[in-house]
Chains A and B, each alone.
Chain A
Amino acid sequence: GQNIDQPTEMTATEGAIVQINCTYQTSGFNGLFWYQQHAGEAPTFLSYNVLDGLEEKGRFSSFLSRSKGYSYLLLKELQMKDSASYLCAVRVYSSASKIIFGSGTRLSIRP
């Protein structure tokens, strides 16, 4: 089956760094996404990794290790507005592709 695991909740301090981990067991892996979802809003795209390594985009970076089935999202210089759920999602391909989501990590930023 397809399985994606990430911590349910995390707390961090404004200005600090936080790393949100994601492990997956899937067949037909075809890329990994991170989305941000504020309460009551739709998820928005943050990053995409298809090859091993680190992708940096401003304060956010995402890492992928395909051999380990592991990814993380790194958030630097945390701001209060970063309080949100972060969704790890994997695109899998069999006869057609689809994106499956983890349950999300709710990140709370304290002053």
Chain B
Amino acid sequence: KAGVTQTPRYLIKTRGQQVTLSCSPISGHRSVSWYQQTPGQGLQFLFEYFSETQRNKGNFPGRFSGRQFSNSRSEMNVSTLELGDSALYLCASSLGDSRGYTFGSGTRLTVV
């Protein structure tokens, strides 16, 4: 059974650019959540999608957006990148039960 797949693994972008990250959940998982991980802040919740609908959103500016497709694959987009957006972006999928999340390996974004 394939795990959660995130692409790309590494990305370098310039301030002001925009970026799109992709996540393919485990087959059968309809819930996909996105987190930003930085050394100082830990894992910060971005948003969660279920059946193509955003069910929950964290406290991030509107530059951060996402969507989910009918096959449960999800993308997140960050526009007008800032240096502080440099982080590891983790995607996690779940069945919504006691097994919690299965995380992907993440996309490490560096903004220069």
Given that A41-B105, A42-B104, A42-B105 are known contacts, is A98 also in contact with B99, CB under 8 Å in the complex? no
B-side interface residues, number (CB < 8 Å) = 23
In the complex, the answer to whether B105 meets A48 with C-beta atoms within 8 Å is no
Give min CB distance, A16 to chain B, whole Å.
26
Give the one of B33, B48, B100, B104 with max A CB within 10 A: B100
In the complex, the answer to whether A96 meets B43 with C-beta atoms within 8 Å is no
| Chain A CB within 8 A of B26 CB | no
Given that A45-B102, A48-B100 are known contacts, is A98 also in contact with B56, CB under 8 Å in the complex? yes
A35 and B104 CA atoms in complex are apart in Å by 14
In the complex, the answer to whether B101 meets A45 with C-beta atoms within 8 Å is yes
A-B contact pairs, 15 of them (CB 8 A): A31-B98, A42-B90, A42-B104, A43-B43, A43-B101, A48-B99, A50-B98, A87-B42, A91-B100, A98-B45, A98-B58, A99-B45, A101-B45, A103-B42, A104-B42
Using a CB–CB cutoff of 8 Å, the interface residues on chain A facing chain B are 31, 33, 35, 41-45, 48, 50, 87, 89, 91, 95-104
Give min CB distance, B18 to chain A, whole Å.
25
Interface of chain A, helix or strand or loop or mixed? Answer: strand
In the complex, the answer to whether A99 meets B33 with C-beta atoms within 8 Å is yes
Give min CB distance, A70 to chain B, whole Å.
19
Give min CB distance, A39 to chain B, whole Å.
11
Give min CB distance, B112 to chain A, whole Å.
21
In the complex, the answer to whether A44 meets B103 with C-beta atoms within 8 Å is yes
A95 and B48 CA atoms in complex are apart in Å by 12
